[in-house]
Amino acid sequence: MESEKPHPQIKVGRTRQSEATYLPVDLVSDILLRLPAKSIVKFRCVSKVWSSITTLPSFISSFAARSSPRLLILSEKNGKLFGFSIPQNQNSDNKPQLVESYALTYPGNCSVFWNVSVHGMICSSVSLKLEVWNPTTRRTVILPHPKRGWSNMSCFLGFDPIDGTYKVLSMPRYPCSKGDNRPRVLTLTGDHKESWRVIQGITEHVPYCPGQHIINGVIYYVASLKSHSDYILVSFHVRSEKMSMIEVPWNYLSVPKIFPVLYEGKLACVSSKDNDVTKVDDIEIWILEDAEKHEWSYKKIHLPFSRYDPISHACLDMKGVNDAGELIYVPLDLVNPVRLLYYDLNTNVYRRVVVEGLADDQFRRRNGIGDNNILRTLAVYPNHIETLMSL
């Protein structure tokens, strides 16, 4: 009977009085999985073995599975982009949360700030290019152009958890009158050898919402038909790549920001008059009753809290929905300590979260920001996770 092969081991140190110490590879992998993403990226330089371990698909998947969803807030000052990562699902009415802050690198003049974080990645259009950005590794990947003749493009990123693949949906923002403006989808494989595929059987349309919203593997966004008068809610199933359209009862010009949510078990769209100088504390809800008949019901809810925070003298802006179905309100100005608010539509219950260390004196000194300089909220990404994925 053959003897079992010895388990691979890694030498981790040597002293004058002792022999070298070795650790099994699976133990090293388990230790590395418990570290923050930025530490793992640095430790890839330790050895070829560590680099190999941390770039394995199984390691990347395990790391993503262990990552807790966070609220990523971006701000910009003096030409620098800053990220603030905050635990998302922890109650902290009495205990302040600590924030992880860091400087980010990203090309300017892009629409990344209007999109959402999808399994740790953010897709954006920059001039004539489409890019996918990983805030964790600070890396961007340029995608092949969907179609010759398309200039300004809209892009939507989706993730298929079954195959573990990302898909990008793209279409022109300003359709050509004689060109083929049908949406196209691309599966990101790492080598980008796949080509864009045309979505068949769907009417050409123009996305109006600045970003996308995902519920149960389906991307939703508001658009209009070519007439620019008939507004629709478009759904794109990431795995099957099927698209459908539902007529909506509201006018986009009067409701410029819509967040699809699950309300009492049904798909609903929520709007808030953010940035309203009157600080109206009402939200409007359109509930989809019958998708085939395009039937909606309507509700107006008076919020059980004020959108104006008298302590920080900041107005709270609705910035999205987390995986728990809570609406997220973030102050327009980031004044330490930052007070966030999460509101559950289904239970009419809200919770306040106090965040320490965001835009405080230490952060300002470290980044050369004066005490009188106001840091404003540039973008907010709910449900953001750290990922080591490289495309």
Strands 218-225 and 213-215: antiparallel
Looking at residue 8, its pLDDT comes to 53
Residue 19 identity (one-letter amino acid)? E
Cα→Cα distances 315→178, 239, 242, 343, 379, Å = 46, 39, 39, 16, 15
How far, in Å, CA of 123 to CA of 118, rounded?
Answer: 9
Looking at residue 324, its pLDDT comes to 85
Strands 80-87 and 165-172: unpaired
Segment holding 28, helix H or strand E = helix 25-33
Looking at residue 97, its pLDDT comes to 63
Phi-psi sector, 311: left (phi>0), alpha (psi -120 to 50), beta: alpha
Q: List pLDDT tens digits, range 257-290.
A: 788 888 888 999 998 765 544 456 788 999 999 9
Cross-strand partners of 211 = none
- For 204, half-sphere exposure in the C-beta direction (CA atoms, 13 angstrom radius) is 15
Residue 286 identity (one-letter amino acid)? W
Looking at residue 3, its pLDDT comes to 46
**Sign of torsion, CA 322 324 327 332?**
negative
Residues of the chain with pLDDT under 50: 1-7, 17-18, 20, 276-278
Phi, psi of 189 (to 5 degrees): -110, -10
Domains defined for the chain, CATH in brackets: 7-66 (no CATH), 67-384 (2.120.10)
Cα→Cα distances 75→86, 102, 235, Å = 14, 11, 30
Looking at residue 92, its pLDDT comes to 53
Looking at residue 4, its pLDDT comes to 46
Encoded tokens for 230: 């008939």
